[in-house]
Structure 1
Amino acid sequence: MLCLVEVLQAQPALDAALLVETQRGEYFHLTIGGRLINPVPSSRVAVGDLPAGRHILHLRVLGRGRRAQNITAEVILASGYESVYVLAPTVPGRTFPLVLRKVEEVPLSRPVPPATGTESCRYVMEGPDVDRVLRFMKEEGFDDRRLEIAKGEIKLTGGIMTDDLFLLMKAITFEERRVQLAKFAYDYVCDRNKFSRVFDALEFNSSKREMQDFLYKEIR
């Protein structure tokens, strides 16, 4: 038992996160410490549950009509923060080559008083975070990507208020995917007593009935 405790204590705390995106929409693969993060190339990759400290990133940026660019960079992740990096042209006005630049650090832990008096929701997405996610979503042309961005950010933060969920749903064009987001986010909503607000983001009665059936099953 003592050996097990020593092993657990020796393991690094997974209390940092990383977000990498391209300024001009280029697609890339990201590898951290020899582990390929996104087998499918993307213009934006978020990674949670990382140990704080030094990490070596390998990025393979797919070129548009040219050879791919390989970038190796060292980053330092701060405990309790999501470190945001952007792949931008080395020379303004040109498309290649790209360089990895740090943009900001966003706090991961945001204590909020529980709306219901319980401890079910310790952290919540704040206003600036919601605005940032909305900007990312609107820059994407496909609803599938917008849905994945919203789901990923909600999961990474750990909590969201109903009014903010409504805004993310409205940033999605197709109602089917709005419903998918609402169902996914239910477990992360901090003020479930106001969850019926999401119905205002739905236009079709069939969608509202689907959400009603979902809620009935959840509260039984």
Structure 2
Amino acid sequence: MKRFYILSILMLCLMQVVHAQQPALDAAILVETQRGEYFQLTIGGRLINPAPAPRVAVGELPAGRHILNLRVLGRGRRAQNITAEIILASGYESVYTLVPTVPGRAFPLVLRKVEDVPYSRPLPPAGGNEVCQYVMDQQDVDRVLRFMKDEGFDDRRLDIAKGEIKLAGGIMTEDLYLLMKAISFEDRRVALAKFAYNYVCDRQRFSRVLDALDFSNSKRELQDFLYKEIR
């Protein structure tokens, strides 16, 4: 009994020592893009936002050194990967912005620190469609467009587009628009848009795909579908 008592005391002391050695989670970071580009943020090897977003906030981090990896998506170009080492101050939220390296140009981007502000509350979770686990990049979209072009029938083109979107797990609205334009018949375009809705990572821009339709009845059908989905 005495041995058990001593062992319990030792375990309690050990737990207190371990707890004391754990860093306080009293730092935070906010990363956003100046022009609204979508990106994924990884901190210390942990992916923060599987769904790309133009603004990512992370709270309850230990102060000190962190390695950031950012994958920035870009229309008409390959994704840009950025690695940066930062220092988070205890009790502060560090604000960073992705800005063009050369003023007046869209890419490439560079991560710049804006300010440190007192951190006193939990930050909201990163925005974006959490269903998205991966986003088709420019190379993926070009490949799918080539596959679709090689097919002479719209039904086959529709099947290819659906399969590739499902396989990738995510697509941006602008890229969905391109795939829809590669299909000749309106009803197939509408079918692709409806299928892809759950895979679109920037759903707030989904109405853009209406521009891929020529007839008012097709646009009304897709609008009705969209309004039902967002209720």
Could you tell me the TM-score, scaled by structure 2's length? 0.48
Percentage of pairs with the same residue: 77
Please point out which of 12, 21, 30 is paired with 2:41: 30
CA displacement at 1:65 relative to structure 2: 1.2
Task: Find the counterpart in structure 1 of residue 199 from structure 2.
Answer: none
Q: Which string of whole-angstrom CA distances, capped at 9 and with x for unpartnered residues, describes residues 4-35 of structure 1?
A: 11110111000000000000000000000000
Question: What is aligned with 2:90?
Answer: 79
Report 1:195-206 matches (<5 A). Answer: none
Corresponding position: 1:62 with 2:73? yes
Q: Do residues 90 (structure 1) and 107 (structure 2) align?
A: no
Secondary structure of 1:38's counterpart equals: coil
Question: How far apart, in 2, do the equivalents of 1:64 and 1:105 lie?
Answer: 31
SS at match of 1:46: strand
Residue in structure 1 matched with residue 118 of structure 2 by the alignment? 107
SS of residue paired to 2:60: strand
Q: Which amino acid aligns with 1:12?
A: P
User: SS in structure 1 opposite 2:17?
Assistant: helix
The code of the aligned residue for 2:40 comes to H
SS in 1 for 2:49: coil
1:170-185 paired onto structure 2 within 5 Å: none
Deviation at 1:50, TM superposition (A): 0.2
Bigger relative CO (Cα 8 Å, ≥ 6 apart): 2
What is the CA-CA distance between 1:43 and the residue it aligns to?
Answer: 0.4
1:15 aligns with 2:26: yes
Give the equivalent residue in structure 1 for 2:217: none
CA distance in 2 between counterparts of 1:108 and 1:59 reads 23
Paired with 1:64 and 1:9, the residues of 2 have a C-alpha distance of 48
Q: Which residue of 1 aligns with 2:62?
A: 51
Q: Which string of whole-angstrom CA distances, capped at 9 and with x for unpartnered residues, describes residues 37-79 of structure 1?
A: 0000000000000001110000000111100000000111111
- Per the TM alignment, residue 103 of structure 1 is displaced from its structure 2 partner at its CA by 0.4
5+ residue gaps, structure 2: 1-11, 123-202, 205-231
Q: Which letter maps to 1:59?
A: L
For residues 107-150 of structure 1, the C-alpha deviation after alignment (integer angstroms, 9 at most, x for no partner) is: 113xxxxxxxxxxxxx79xxxxxxxxxxxxxxxx95xxxxxxxx
Can you give the 5+ residue segments of structure 1 that lack an aligned partner in the other structure?
110-122, 125-140, 143-220
For the aligned residues, what is the CA RMSD? Answer: 2.4
